[in-house]
Structure 1
Amino acid sequence: MSRRVTPALLASALLTAGLVGCSTDAGPAARPAAPVGPPTATTPAPQVPSGTAPQQSFAVGVRQLKLNRDGDRPLPVTVWYPAAGEAGGEPERSVTAAPGKFPVVMFSHGLNGRPADYATLLTRWAAAGFVVAAPTFPHTSRGGDGNVLDVLNQPADVSYALTQVLALDAKAGDPLRGRLAADRVAAAGHSAGGVTTIGLFTAGRDERLDAGVVFAGTALGVGTAFAGAAAPQLFVHGEADEVVEYAAGKAVYDKVPWPKAMLSLSKGDHGRALLSDGAALRVVSDTTVEFLRWSLYGDEAAKRRIPADAARGDLATLDNRL
């Protein structure tokens, strides 16, 4: 599957405003209103059947996949997964997967980043019962050529990587054989990875995706024409973001037609809280875990816990339209 975007199209989409430090809204952003009630009768409902997420914490394994889309887009993928053994401690390489079927979350890093930068957060997702697969993009990762225009090719990269990851469920001898819930999949990403994630629900809609988590993202270049079946979205944005203005993220959030919530960190910047442990990361990780438990496992109790997790420590506000 090739959906390569040409340099000319990329330039016309991005260079007019620039990806970094952009804003699609000229005025200052208002904080989200007080939490509202459940979706109206006209809001499409999520497709994942009701169920119960595992409540125990898992040990975490980690492995690497060597992928290449179209032969000229190397996409090494780091995979964190629930592992057998005692929970806690650092992820262990290539250990036995825990028994069970686990939803998949595709994570996209930001400009000049790498999956390992987000290991604290992604390890927590894996410990909660999710297989997290994070590609290293060929041009926008640290050590690449820094071609920001290549961001619009990344939704297709994620879709390709997702196909390869899901294939492991049926691959003889693979450690993840029989361990993937291929019908329960989410996409998440930070900054340029947030653009990538939004693109997977708009211009590059991947119909396999049931939910999305967007950290400090903007729709620049990928648009806000959300398409396909209802896929709940959680936006996380710092109100003091110095790179992607809060207004830009809020403008995209407002266009989402499905069940959604926005976690606004009152003193949050562009995302340093995602990279190291601390009070803000705990709020973000707990809120996102409960969102994923609800949107991928269908766990209604997890959905009810989201507001309390978001309010812990008075670090954030939640506009809850789930």
Structure 2
Amino acid sequence: MSTRIIAGPCALLIAACAPLALNAPLAQPPAQPPACADLLAGEAQAFEIERMTEDGRSVPLTVFAPAAPGEYPLVAFSHGAFAAPGRYAAMLEPLAAAGFVVIAPMHVDSEDYPRAEGEPARPAHAVTWAGRTADMERALEPDAAIRAALAENGLALEEGKVIALGHSYGALIAQLYGGAVAVEPDGSSVDRRNPQVDAVVAFSPPGPMPELMAAEGWASLSAPALTITGTADVLPGFIDDWRAHVVAHEQAPEGARALWVGEGIDHYFGGSFGRPGEVDAKEARLFARALERALSFMQAHVQDDEACRVGDPLDGETYQEDAA
């Protein structure tokens, strides 16, 4: 005798026919990462450290950091020609508030640099270059005295989490430590790549320039790199076409590049930093967006969690990045 078994609905849909647990919690949607704008609106602190080089040169350092004590990733920042770290507070304080310790040396070409009597206000290119690269190396690899000063303010650095950031001349300096190779003052080429640098953020990097940077010098930029510029980003007689700032992005190897362009944005976002001035509503809005993009990019390369959320697209901005 054979037995025929007919599977009823409950046999086929056990889960559907099982008693419902009256108190079973509903599935929660995955939590969204925080908004970049909210993180940038946090509180920051700033303080000064002074170090001396072996040859007796003063290196004033400004530190921007979260107000809350803790351990944070490092950002080494290089300012634009003749500028100074304090002129970038509108950029560096929000990034610090969002969870980074920013170490910003004042370079020897700064108009605010504490010069000895008789010292030239505009050092020779070779002097400036040597000073800037030495300063950036100090910021990227803080010594015991710098770390002690951070500790006095309740701060420590997360090892292995480093961003190189710069504006204009300083953007080129930052790119060197991500793998770009410039023309040294003596005509040689030096690989200054720092393997600890996780990403580079370059505001208005200069384009190719004789005796400073050839286009192919960016072909070795191996660290993920974000370039930020605007369609009015010109310096007449020096950089006459804003597209020169995009060459670094175009020449870098594909794979981890990103580019943000602001319509009508100039070299200083209307005076938001570097050369402070009157900033209109559009410039302020696009500057805030550029900082959101910078923060998201930085987080994406130094943390395991998903990077913060950038707001909805704005009129006047374009953004592109290589596919992951």
Give the TM-score, by structure 1 length. Answer: 0.69
Q: Which is greater in Rg?
A: 2
SS in 1 for 2:151: coil
**CA 1:233–1:151 in structure 2 vs 1: closer, same or farther (change >3 Å)?**
farther
Aligned counterpart in structure 2 of residue 59 of structure 1, from 36, 39, 43? 43
SS in 1 for 2:141: helix
Aligned counterpart in structure 2 of residue 146 of structure 1, from 100, 106, 122? 122
**Where do residues 140-289 of structure 1 align in structure 2 (5 Å cutoff)?**
140-142=110-112, 145-147=121-123, 149=125, 150-153=127-130, 154-164=132-142, 168-169=146-147, 171=148, 174-175=151-152, 179-201=156-178, 202-203=180-181, 204-218=192-206, 220=209, 221-223=212-214, 224-225=217-218, 227=220, 230-243=222-235, 244=239, 245-257=241-253, 258-273=255-270, 274-275=272-273, 278-289=284-295
**CA 1:173–1:159 in structure 2 vs 1: closer, same or farther (change >3 Å)?**
closer
CA distance in 2, matches of 1:190, 1:68: 24
SS in 1 for 2:48: strand
Structure number with the bigger relative contact order (C-alpha 8 A, sep ≥ 6) is 1
Aligned counterpart in structure 2 of residue 75 of structure 1, from 51, 59, 68? 59
Gaps of 5+ in 1: 1-51, 85-97
**CA 1:65–1:272 in structure 2 vs 1: closer, same or farther (change >3 Å)?**
same
Q: Please identify, of 181-190 and 72-81, the stretch whose mean Cα deviation from structure 2 is larger.
A: 72-81
- Identity fraction in percent: 25
SS in 2 for 1:288: helix
CA distance in 2, matches of 1:261, 1:317: 11
* Amino acid in structure 2 at the alignment position of 1:196: I
**Is the 8 Å Cα contact of residues 168 and 176 (structure 1) preserved in structure 2?**
no
- Give the paired residue count: 250
CA distance in 2, matches of 1:61, 1:173: 11
* CA shift for structure 1 position 60: 1.5
Aligned counterpart in structure 2 of residue 122 of structure 1, from 84, 89, 92? 92
* CA shift for structure 1 position 247: 2.2
* CA shift for structure 1 position 290: 1.3
**CA 1:63–1:184 in structure 2 vs 1: closer, same or farther (change >3 Å)?**
same
* CA shift for structure 1 position 315: 2.3
After TM superposition, what 4+ stretches of structure 1 lie above 6 angstroms from structure 2? 52-55
Q: Say what the alpha-carbon RMSD is for the aligned residues.
A: 2.8
**Is the 8 Å Cα contact of residues 44 and 65 (structure 2) preserved in structure 1?**
yes
**Is the 8 Å Cα contact of residues 49 and 60 (structure 2) preserved in structure 1?**
yes
CA distance in 1, matches of 2:143, 2:81: 23
SS in 2 for 1:106: strand
Give the TM-score, by structure 2 length. Answer: 0.68
* CA shift for structure 1 position 118: 0.7
* Amino acid in structure 2 at the alignment position of 1:124: P
CA distance in 2, matches of 1:62, 1:111: 22
**CA 1:320–1:172 in structure 2 vs 1: closer, same or farther (change >3 Å)?**
closer
SS in 1 for 2:152: coil
* CA shift for structure 1 position 173: 8.8
* Amino acid in structure 2 at the alignment position of 1:125: L
